[in-house]
């Protein structure tokens, strides 16, 4: 048998301005939206990292294929002088 509430309490509950409580489905929907946003943020971060890694790898490959002078490295003067004495070209 259910317990009956006094009329005054029922009227107070009906007149109250408290916001209605969220249903379980609303809470789950909110949690799913937050997780979807987090997934999007992590994907964007992963794509940025992969792009940066690819760019760095390309730069390393380009530096490795350049000759020493083109890469901004100066040959040792002693080695250059020796190469000139024996008649070889510097590369």
* pTM of the complete model beyond 0.85: no
Q: Domain coordinates of the chain in residue numbers?
A: 22-86
Torsion angle (degrees, nearest 10) of CA 57, 60, 61, 67 = 170
Q: Are 75 and 85 in contact (CB under 8 A)?
A: no
Task: Give one DSSP letter per residue of 18-38, joined into a string.
Answer: PPPPPPHHHHHHHHHHHHHHH
Q: What residues contact 83, with CB distance under 8 A and at least 6 apart?
A: 89, 90
Highest mean pLDDT among 53-57, 61-65, 68-72, 84-88: 53-57
- 59-82 pLDDT tens trace: 888 877 776 555 556 667 777 777
Asked if the model's pLDDT at residue 16 lies above 70, the reply is yes
């Amino acid at each position: 048998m259910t317990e009956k509430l006094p009329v005054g309490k029922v009227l107070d509950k009906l007149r109250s301005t408290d916001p209605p409580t969220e249903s379980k489905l609303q809470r789950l929907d909110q949690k799913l939206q937050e997780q979807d946003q987090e997934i999007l943020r992590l994907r964007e971060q992963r794509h940025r990292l992969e792009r940066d890694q690819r760019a760095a790898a390309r730069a390393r490959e380009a530096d490795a294929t350049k000759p020493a002078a083109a890469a901004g490295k100066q040959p040792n003067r002693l080695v250059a002088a020796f190469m000139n004495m024996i008649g070889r070209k510097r590369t």
